[in-house]
Amino acid sequence: MTENLYSEYPEAYDALYAEKDYDAEVEFVLSEFEAAAESTPDQRRALVLGCGTGEHGKRLRAEGFDVVGVDKYPAMVERARTKTDAEFRVGELPDLPVEESFDLVWFPFTVVQHLDPDAVADSLRAAADRLAEGGVLVFDQISGEDFGDSASLRTYPSEDGTYARLTHVHEADDGASRYDALVFTPDGEFFVDTHRLFDHDDSYLEGVCNVLDLSVERFGWYDEEADPDETGHVVYVAQ
Farthest-apart Cα atoms in the chain, separation: 53
135 φ, ψ to 5°? -70, 170
Position of minimal CB gap to ligand SAM = 52
Note whether 111 binds ligand SAM by CB under 6 A.
Answer: yes
Note whether 27 binds ligand SAM by CB under 6 A.
Answer: no
Considering just the CA atoms, what is the radius of gyration of the chain in Å?
Answer: 17
Note whether 11 binds ligand SAM by CB under 6 A.
Answer: no
Q: Site for ligand SAM (CB under 6 A): which residue of 8, 27, 78, 92?
A: 92
Q: Site for ligand SAM (CB under 6 A): which residue of 16, 32, 55, 60?
A: 55
Smallest separation (angstroms) from ligand SAM to the CB of 93? 4
Note whether 194 binds ligand SAM by CB under 6 A.
Answer: no
Q: Which is nearer to ligand SAM, 144 or 215 (CB)?
A: 144
Note whether 93 binds ligand SAM by CB under 6 A.
Answer: yes
- Per CB under 6 A, the segment of 30-38, 71-79, 179-187, 228-236 that binds ligand SAM is 71-79
HSE-up of residue 39 (Cα within 13 Å, Cβ side): 5
The answer to whether 3 and 193 are in contact (CB under 8 A) is yes
- The rounded distance, in Å, linking the Cα atoms of 105 and 67 is 10
Smallest separation (angstroms) from ligand SAM to the CB of 150? 18
Q: CA dist 214 to 44, 52, 163, 173, 175, Å?
A: 20, 26, 42, 33, 28
Q: Which is nearer to ligand SAM, 20 or 170 (CB)?
A: 20
Note whether 231 binds ligand SAM by CB under 6 A.
Answer: no
Q: Which is nearer to ligand SAM, 72 or 130 (CB)?
A: 72
Cβ within 8 Å of residue 60, ≥6 positions away: 26, 46, 48, 67, 86, 104
